[in-house]
Structure formats: structure tokens, C-alpha cells
Amino acid sequence: MLGNFTYCNPTKLYFGEDSLSNLGTELKKYGQNVVLIYGGGSIKKNGIYDEVMAILREEEKNVAEIAGVMPNPTLEKLYEGVEIVRNHKADLLLAVGGGSVCDYAKAVSVSVNCEEDPWEKYYLKFEEPSCEIIPVGCVLTMVGTGSEMNAGAVITNHDAKLKIGHVFADEKIMPKFTILNPKYTLTLPHYQMISGIYDIFNHICEQYFSGEDDNTSDYISEGLMKSVIHSSRIANKNPQDYEARSNIMWSATWALNTLVAKAKSTDWMVHMLGQAVGACTDATHGMTLSAVSLPYYKHIMPYGLAKFVRFAKNVWDVDATGKTDEQVASEGLQAMENWMKELGLVMNITELGATEDMIPDLVKGTIVLPGGYKVLDVDEIEQIFRESF
């Protein structure tokens, strides 16, 4: 394991069927003004809203609400939320929902006291906050992004046709606490469940497919991937299987709380490609990843062949006897493709609403990051998108 790193994750987690009972304890640590943030209203249908509001009333909190946070939170919605939070003089932002709601809450938290335009400062210049940050707490209802235990926040600017994530360096931006009750995920539609599952898996891949040293992080990643594969197959057949859904929820958190990124250069190009698709189509995040993953991994496989061989053998149990490294690596990607189809994931961007006339915008909207086995040029990005149709 090479390199130097610092690891700090201050988010406190409460996990299990009784985890919401700890919300009152956490609320006591903050002032009276709370802004409750949630999405399209499903938490009102399934009763979670009433449970949370009962605890807020019990703690005598003064509550304002930001409702209607969309799956790909927009810049306009960010500006709207900033005004609500400023007017309420919020002491705490409580995000109740999936990763997009958690992302959004963090974006609001760093923008409320910022004198500059948050899009310009955080998403174009990638600067860090120089202002007071409003603390965030989360009650998670959908798994996938890992936003409940990291400092990332993704915002979409439709006018610019850009979807950009900023992973802030300051651990103060991480949620102060997160409630993880697997039962809250059981009412999700199948499409959203499998989308979240692939988001989890790809988060691990993005960190795994980098570096050439013998790294403990890779062994952890392989265990997480095998757990996700195993539990996803159970949940795909029986979405009400609590044990499988609880394992998926726990894996999602550890897939992106920065642990398995330690001493890794990391490769986030599938996310960059997928976010470009999301900016143009507003498609579900996990499905944008599944639609571009295989063309990308097939493209970079020759440059990181040893890791793809290891992936095939250690994650997919490919028998390497009598085969070349190229054959073994290819069988690993084929096994991954078979699993993706078994779950019912989207395998091309056409199904997400992308058209060939979008290619210039897709290419332009793809941020090129180093860290993987091959730094893509513009022609390669266009080729990958064409192979994703």
C-alpha cells in the first residue's frame, strides 16, 4: 500500500429498524430552527414524514420545509432553498430522502452564507467554502449514492447542460448524523432499487480500477462488490427481503464514505460520462452509469489489464486455467454484463432518451479526470458515447 493519506469521517450513523428513535437525541444538539428537506412527496405517502414531524414537534423545533427536491437537483432549486434557509435562520438542515436530497442539503448548507454565486464558486472553480456552514443531518430512504456519509454534492445546470459534483475537502460538510433504517427502502419501485444497486457497485469500481500496488483498499472493495452482487440477486427476486436490503444499505454507505479510496488515485470517468447523459436527459443517475459502463471498461481494459484480470478472478470467480489474461479479463466483464441484465438495468443511453444529435453536448459536458488507467481524449469520449447507443 503506497502513498500517504489522512482519513477522517465524523458522520455518526444509527442503523437498524429502531434507528429513528435516535433522532430526538441528535436534534437536542442544535438550535430551534430546522429546515426539513425532502423530494416529491413519497415520504408523506409511506408515513416517514409523519414520524419525523412527530419527533420535531416533540423537540419543540420551529420547522420550515423545502419540498420537491428532484432526482437531479437543479441550480434553480438550489437558489430557492438558499432563500428559504436564510429567511428561516436555520440551525440545522434535515434531509429526509435519497442521495439527491442529501446532496442538495449539503449544497444549500455551503451556499446560505456564501456571498458569491455558488455555481461559480463551487461547481466551476471548485473552491472550498470560506463562510459559515449550516450543519446537515440525514434520514435515508433510498440507497445508492453514499451521500449520507460523505461531503459530495451534485447539482445540475440545465442552461449550461452540465451536471457537476463537488466533493468538498472539509469534513465539516459531511452530515453530522445519518439515520439508516433499511425498512424505509422497502417501498421503492424496482427501477429505483436496481438503479441504486448499480450506483453502489460502480462507486466501488471507480475506486478499484486505479493503481497497481498491493492495496488493502482493493481487498475491501472486492468484499463489498461480492456482497452487493449476492444481496442484489436476493433483493431482485424478493424486494421485501430485509436482510438483503439491509446489506445493500450498509454496502452503499461504505462504498463512498472515502474509506476504499485511501491510497488510490481513483477513476471517476464512468460518473463523468454518466453525468453528461444526466444533464441532457434528466435520466436516473444509476441508469446513466449502467448505460455507459461497459463501453468505457472495455475501452480501458488493455491499459489496466492486470486489475481487470484480478476483478474477473476475485469478484466473478472466473477460472483462468489455460486462458490468456485478455480472455480472463473479458470473461469478467461478460459476467458483469450478465449480472446487470439479470437485474434489469438499462444497457444503452438510447433507452434514457439520448439521441445522436446530443453527442456534441455529451462530449462537451464530460469532465476529463486523471487517475484511471487511461486519460481519455475528446475522440475517445465520442467513441464511447457512440458505443453506448
Co-location of 175 and 246 in the same domain: no
Residue 366 pLDDT:
97
Q: Given pLDDT bands bounded at 50, 70 and 90, which one contains residue 2?
A: confident
Contacts of 320 (CB under 8 A, 6+ apart): 309, 312, 313, 328
Co-location of 30 and 124 in the same domain: yes
Nearest-5° Cα angle at 30, 22 to 27: 20
Q: 358 in helix, strand or coil?
A: helix
Instruction: Assess if residue 247 is contained within a domain.
Output: yes
Nearest-5° Cα angle at 180, 223 to 347: 55
pLDDT in tens, 245-298: 999 999 999 999 999 999 999 999 999 999 999 999 999 999 999 999 999 999
Co-location of 205 and 131 in the same domain: no
Instruction: Assess if residue 269 is contained within a domain.
Output: yes
The pTM assigned to this predicted structure is: 0.95
Q: Given pLDDT bands bounded at 50, 70 and 90, which one contains residue 1?
A: confident
Instruction: Assess if residue 82 is contained within a domain.
Output: yes
Cell of 218: 482493493
Provide the residue range defining the domain that includes 163.
12-185
pLDDT in tens, 177-191: 999 999 999 999 999
**DSSP type of residue 365:** T
pLDDT in tens, 115-153: 999 999 999 999 999 999 999 999 999 999 999 999 999
Q: Please give the mean pLDDT across all residues of the chain.
A: 97
The domain tally of the chain equals: 2
Q: Given pLDDT bands bounded at 50, 70 and 90, which one contains residue 64?
A: very high
Domain boundary residue among 157, 185, 213?
185
Residue 178 pLDDT:
98
Co-location of 248 and 160 in the same domain: no
Q: In this model, does residue 9 exceed pLDDT 90? A: yes
Instruction: Assess if residue 102 is contained within a domain.
Output: yes
8 A C-beta contact, residue 133 and residue 174: no
Contacts of 221 (CB under 8 A, 6+ apart): 204, 207, 208, 260
Residues of the chain with pLDDT > 70: what percent?
100
Residue 41 pLDDT:
86
Co-location of 234 and 354 in the same domain: yes
